[in-house]
Structure 1
């Protein structure tokens, strides 16, 4: 083992030992250690059985049962483990640039069948279409170097939430009732604030940005945001204000709806952007892999439309209209200060790309999408363990100089040599999993 590998090994052992105190029982320490190790080691599949073959090739069956019970049945707290992960890793994230943003996202995991908890035909971002999948709502803290999920909860479709038989089979807690994805995200944000996590600018795509109640709640909580919206979102143009509600006649409820009339009506952000074609300027927000990322942007001060007596505050409308496109391609509403520069506004709006890159690592390299169980507890335990393993890599990367390798290039946690005669960890341990017979080697016959 090289000196560098021994150093990683030692830091991994210390990291896991520090997290083990959040598990509630000493006999969970070994399976916790092995599960995290299995997630970090190279392997095509990070479900329980292949990981058991990696970490304990001499006793795969016993290790498989141990890990299976630990992730699917053991009664340890996801919240306590994630809190300890934050304690260990957020200081490193803050040293590498501070917490610049909180990113709301949802992560789709394609799934066959109908029995896995929360599975339904719904939009799956990984596939880019409607399909059978599970969807988890996440909250991550981020800067330009990395992002760390601090909350991860399965979205339970209404049909699932109301089906007591399926809930019981999947072990869904009685306290979990139907909530929309923006409502779940808002709960996660309130918990993060209560836990004292350093706040950042809230970023999200249009599935969350178009929710006026979420935007209002973020403002009420003292948080600023840059949230994508759809092209049909309506705003009051600059220098155009809604008319006040009609005077009360003295009968019934006092009128509260703001009035609209000729010359006093909100318009879509798309129509407003098209009318401001001369306002767009070229902005470069970061270096891409081959070339600087550049596009055309405009920022306008607008008031989001709402039919209520209390006016919504004026905020930024940021619009992206790339050169050569027939119309704008992106829209954001933002409560960042009025004196912020256009370049800084664009930079924060585009920072949401960070979560896309990191979730690719989480799903493909660390096995977030590989869990094969069906229950509520196992789904969340696996996500927590994946985040814990990924957080170790974030901390390792933060200790490297800026010119060093990226997270995907950090050496994996070393593994001891496989004993002679032990099963090959690269293969499944049961013959029935190998549906295709092995091909005969092509070689010339000997003399």
Structure 2
């Protein structure tokens, strides 16, 4: 997606979009800074630091924009709640997928909050960076960022003075990325976002505690897993003559107790289970159109029982999905595990597990066009406020694409606080319907 660049003057529809968020700010000067900062993120400015935007935008300066991030009192979580509730009404078709992932923000030195030498999937290597865990909503018509939180390495959490200097909230302790993702999920659901399925890559799919947490929350999911992750073949379990077969599926809720029958079936890696499948079990599936035609690979599905996290929870039943290139094409074999999605056919599951590209595209757009990684401050509040404003700007664009063409208001109209919203019913009201075409993919949630 190419993000259109705004001009330097206030956008009438942006001012209307920001009006509910202005209630979080007590002073008119702060509400003006909110509009200027968001406009700066959308504008054609090479670097989206507070100082650079302050120099380029009329009616403000770098100090005022910086104070919006560091000195002005406003609650990031409250802004996210308002935005999620608004987007849930105006930018959602049914219950779509909530994608979890993380991205690296390169940093120099060791003073910026959360910075460390750590692996960044964005960089593809271990490097000096911050890592941001975030979630992203996608369905047939819309996709938009939901919320985010910085991952704090354990060495940061073991240094109270360092935490205090970076203004990390009191009581913040070490959490895995999966634990942070569960917190973000809870916050999104509390804000009113209906989620049909959670989707994540193997960095989260390999965390048994994360999957246990989703199952305890009765939340279906489809995640990538590493080839070494072990499962029990549910067909072998049912075929064992020593005990009556288990129920056809576990259902949702807490993982049930494993039977003696299951315990006798040897665990096998995802790689071994997929490799053992006969050729007739594989199906060719195309899930969406790419730049060079339909994206097509071969898939196989295997009913399996997932092992619990360090024995704390007992196995749960789901589907292991194997993916391989079509004959004559090169590529790696990939593995996925789905739980609570038994009603979905294989093509629908394939379409679901491949919606992760939406969050990867968001990271590209947010960094390349909206300045996600341009924040130069060192403290927790400023970083999270900058991230929240980037997500606010991206959500504005998602609504603008759905409800009307991007436009810049005439100077006299932009200067008037009574200016009407722009054409096409934007910002949206309950009486307007979006006109964005449905995404080209298989059926199901997305």
Question: TM-score per shorter chain, which class?
Answer: 0.7 to 0.9
Q: Does 1:349 find its partner at 2:353?
A: yes
Look up the match of 1:172: 168
Look up the match of 2:51: 49
Following superposition, the deviation at residue 92 of structure 1 comes to 2.5
Any residues of structure 2 matched to 1:310-321 within 5 Å, and which? 311-321=314-324
**Is the alpha carbon distance of 1:272 and 1:75 closer, same or farther for their aligned partners in structure 2, counting shifts above 3 Å?**
same
Q: How many pairs align?
A: 389
C-alpha distance in structure 1 between counterparts of 2:363 and 2:103, whole Å: 8
C-alpha distance in structure 1 between counterparts of 2:409 and 2:321, whole Å: 44
Contact 1:35/1:67 (<8 A) preserved: yes
C-alpha distance in structure 2 between counterparts of 1:136 and 1:268, whole Å: 30
- Equivalent residue in structure 2 for 1:192, among 188, 194, 215: 188
- Equivalent residue in structure 2 for 1:152, among 148, 158, 168: 148
1:342-395 Cα offsets, whole Å, 9 max, x none, are 110100010111111122111110001110111111100100111111111011
C-alpha distance in structure 2 between counterparts of 1:309 and 1:85, whole Å: 36
1:391-413 Cα offsets, whole Å, 9 max, x none, are 1101101115xxx8xxxxx5678
Look up the match of 2:89: 91
Look up the match of 2:273: 272
* Residue aligned with 1:46, SS: coil
- List gaps (5 residues or longer) in structure 1: 245-255, 405-409, 417-447
* Residue aligned with 1:241, SS: helix
- Equivalent residue in structure 1 for 2:14, among 9, 12, 15: 12
Look up the match of 2:425: none
1:270-325 Cα offsets, whole Å, 9 max, x none, are 01111114121110001112311111111111111347597523211111111246
Look up the match of 2:214: 218
C-alpha distance in structure 2 between counterparts of 1:170 and 1:67, whole Å: 20
C-alpha distance in structure 2 between counterparts of 1:310 and 1:170, whole Å: 37
TM-score normalised by the chain length of structure 1 = 0.80
Following superposition, the deviation at residue 201 of structure 1 comes to 0.4
Any residues of structure 2 matched to 1:19-418 within 5 Å, and which? 19-56=21-58, 63-94=61-92, 97-241=93-237, 264-278=265-279, 279-306=281-308, 308=311, 311-323=314-326, 324=328, 329-400=333-404, 410=406
Contact 1:93/1:99 (<8 A) preserved: no
Contact 1:318/1:332 (<8 A) preserved: yes
Following superposition, the deviation at residue 330 of structure 1 comes to 1.3
C-alpha distance in structure 1 between counterparts of 2:111 and 2:171, whole Å: 20
C-alpha distance in structure 2 between counterparts of 1:238 and 1:328, whole Å: 25
C-alpha distance in structure 1 between counterparts of 2:296 and 2:152, whole Å: 39
Contact 1:299/1:317 (<8 A) preserved: yes
Look up the match of 1:434: none
**Is the alpha carbon distance of 1:106 and 1:112 closer, same or farther for their aligned partners in structure 2, counting shifts above 3 Å?**
same
**Is the alpha carbon distance of 1:413 and 1:205 closer, same or farther for their aligned partners in structure 2, counting shifts above 3 Å?**
farther
* Residue aligned with 1:337, SS: coil
C-alpha distance in structure 2 between counterparts of 1:84 and 1:219, whole Å: 27
**Is the alpha carbon distance of 1:299 and 1:367 closer, same or farther for their aligned partners in structure 2, counting shifts above 3 Å?**
same
C-alpha distance in structure 2 between counterparts of 1:311 and 1:71, whole Å: 46
**Is the alpha carbon distance of 1:84 and 1:298 closer, same or farther for their aligned partners in structure 2, counting shifts above 3 Å?**
same
C-alpha distance in structure 1 between counterparts of 2:117 and 2:360, whole Å: 22
**Is the alpha carbon distance of 1:142 and 1:327 closer, same or farther for their aligned partners in structure 2, counting shifts above 3 Å?**
closer
* Residue aligned with 1:151, SS: strand
C-alpha distance in structure 2 between counterparts of 1:102 and 1:222, whole Å: 14
**Is the alpha carbon distance of 1:196 and 1:86 closer, same or farther for their aligned partners in structure 2, counting shifts above 3 Å?**
closer
C-alpha distance in structure 2 between counterparts of 1:414 and 1:130, whole Å: 48
Larger Rg: 1
**Is the alpha carbon distance of 1:373 and 1:6 closer, same or farther for their aligned partners in structure 2, counting shifts above 3 Å?**
closer
C-alpha distance in structure 2 between counterparts of 1:5 and 1:121, whole Å: 38
C-alpha distance in structure 1 between counterparts of 2:210 and 2:198, whole Å: 11
C-alpha distance in structure 1 between counterparts of 2:129 and 2:410, whole Å: 34
Following superposition, the deviation at residue 75 of structure 1 comes to 2.1
C-alpha distance in structure 1 between counterparts of 2:196 and 2:360, whole Å: 18
Following superposition, the deviation at residue 87 of structure 1 comes to 3.1
**Is the alpha carbon distance of 1:54 and 1:98 closer, same or farther for their aligned partners in structure 2, counting shifts above 3 Å?**
farther
RMSD of aligned residue pairs (Cα, Å): 3.0
- List gaps (5 residues or longer) in structure 2: 1-5, 243-256, 413-446
